[in-house]
Chain A
């Protein structure tokens, strides 16, 4: 690293102690470097001196009123106060015996094929790894939740009677929610950043069905006892893994129509699933 690259670190007291004497000696010996250093300090001092910005008249009152109105209804869960770094988190403390995904997540490297091009990034979900995550989570699924108390239930994201979120994990850009229906079917919903090239996925997975669902390009295939559906939408690639033994349309009906959502469209339902993890559970903080 160049000497002057370390000036700001020195200025902010962020340079390792063993590097400071070198900077100090250089500044003492070279007037030009000293002048550059002084100029940087002036810039820093200017930013700090002029940092504060005054709100527009009436803004504070309006914001407070809207926050109070917004937070008076469905606060679901208290997020972590500190930022979550490398967040791989199960909802174990929210619900009794939900799957503990951390060990599972640590054992898999998510392989995502990203192909650069004029049209942006293409993301191919690593279907095999996602199925493994689904299987591991499903195997750890509790068989009874009979002694779950009301407080625990109340702390869960809003859900309907037939599909309940049983666990969640976030691993870099991968968001994974696992749901269990009242009939015992287990459904994983994965979200990753990027845009899907359906044709590439067909090649990668040696076939599969393609189509459009609610305006979203779609790929689907039965793999073993599972049905896998991948959807492209809004800069995300969605992968739904379900053990529902049915045709694709019925799978999607069963797996997605009952997902908790404020909206009716598939696109909105999927976004709500991800946001049920990312926002209330504090991964965004």
Chain B
């Protein structure tokens, strides 16, 4: 533990500072694997940390990473639904809206300097397979937790994990 840091409260509930310092890498990894790029992953983590801050008082000590992964995933899924419902292309008479452009130079540089065959393979999976594989193998959720998270039966989770991994094997081999 870093010198001078107070550490978790006696009741085992971490502070927001604890989470931001010690667990943001985990949150970011889940977010990045889901979103597939740095810019969106940063937005997801930012919104997730806001929800963590608001929800921390009611956190019941248990699987902290499971809780954080669920929040990150919900932020991502919420944003995905929002984008599907609200087209991002600009209207000619609406100067406040911005046309989605090419990735920024910094992101392009980052992506270029960090070749990630795993992410390419994950991006190639259908959404329903990619999400469960990431929740299982990146976030470490159980099949039941994943089923609760995305609202499908456990058997469906099991099947999707298997099919997702099978497709990844074909791509990565």
Which positions in A face B, CB cutoff 8 Å?
1, 4-9, 12, 14-15, 39-40, 42-44, 46-48, 50-56, 59-60, 62-64, 66-67, 70-71, 75, 77-83, 85, 234-236, 280, 282, 284-285
Chain B's interface size range is 35 or more
Question: Residue B29 contacts which of A51, A56, A284 (CB distance < 8 angstroms)?
Answer: A51
Question: Residue B41 contacts which of A50, A53, A236 (CB distance < 8 angstroms)?
Answer: A53
Which B residues are in CB contact (< 8 Å) with A47? 118, 133, 137-138, 165, 168
Which B residues are in CB contact (< 8 Å) with A67? 20, 46, 49-50, 53
CA distance A70 to B51 in the complex (A): 11
Q: Are B84 and A12 in contact (CB under 8 A)?
A: no
B1 at the interface (CB under 8 A from A): no
Sample of 5 more A-B contacts, CB < 8 Å, known A46-B172, A75-B54, A78-B57: A40-B162, A47-B118, A63-B49, A82-B60, A284-B74
Q: Are A9 and B106 in contact (CB under 8 A)?
A: no
When A39-B169, A50-B118, A63-B42 are in contact, do A55 and B54 touch as well, CB less than 8 Å?
Answer: no
Question: Residue A70 contacts which of B33, B50, B159 (CB distance < 8 angstroms)?
Answer: B50
B166 at the interface (CB under 8 A from A): yes
Q: Are A12 and B161 in contact (CB under 8 A)?
A: yes
CA distance A283 to B102 in the complex (A): 33
Question: Residue B85 contacts which of A9, A15, A39, A235 (CB distance < 8 angstroms)?
Answer: A235
B146 → chain A closest CB, angstroms: 10
A75 and chain B: residue at smallest CB distance: B54
Chain B 71-98, CB-CB to A under 8 Å as 1, else 0, gives 1001100100000111000000000000
Which B residues are in CB contact (< 8 Å) with A43? 165, 168-169, 172
Q: Are B55 and A5 in contact (CB under 8 A)?
A: no
A178 → chain B closest CB, angstroms: 23
Question: Residue B58 contacts which of A1, A64, A66, A79 (CB distance < 8 angstroms)?
Answer: A79
Which A residues are in CB contact (< 8 Å) with B25? 52, 54-55
CA distance A54 to B26 in the complex (A): 9
Q: Are B137 and A44 in contact (CB under 8 A)?
A: yes
Which A residues are in CB contact (< 8 Å) with B50? 67, 70-71
Which A residues are in CB contact (< 8 Å) with B86? 234-235
CA distance A4 to B166 in the complex (A): 10
A51 and chain B: residue at smallest CB distance: B138
Question: Residue A79 contacts which of B55, B138, B169 (CB distance < 8 angstroms)?
Answer: B55
A126 → chain B closest CB, angstroms: 21
CA distance A120 to B21 in the complex (A): 44
Q: Are B84 and A235 in contact (CB under 8 A)?
A: yes
Question: Residue B110 contacts which of A7, A56, A63 (CB distance < 8 angstroms)?
Answer: A56
Chain B 130-163, CB-CB to A under 8 Å as 1, else 0, gives 0001001110001100001101001100110111
Which A residues are in CB contact (< 8 Å) with B75? 284
Which A residues are in CB contact (< 8 Å) with B56? 81
Lowest 7 CB-CB distances: which A-B pairs, in order? Answer: A235-B85, A8-B162, A47-B137, A53-B32, A81-B59, A51-B138, A9-B158
Q: Are A46 and B161 in contact (CB under 8 A)?
A: no
B32 and chain A: residue at smallest CB distance: A53
Question: Residue A9 contacts which of B20, B33, B51, B143 (CB distance < 8 angstroms)?
Answer: B143
Question: Residue B74 contacts which of A15, A44, A285 (CB distance < 8 angstroms)?
Answer: A285
B92 → chain A closest CB, angstroms: 15
B144 and chain A: residue at smallest CB distance: A14
Chain B 118-133, CB-CB to A under 8 Å as 1, else 0, gives 1000000000000001
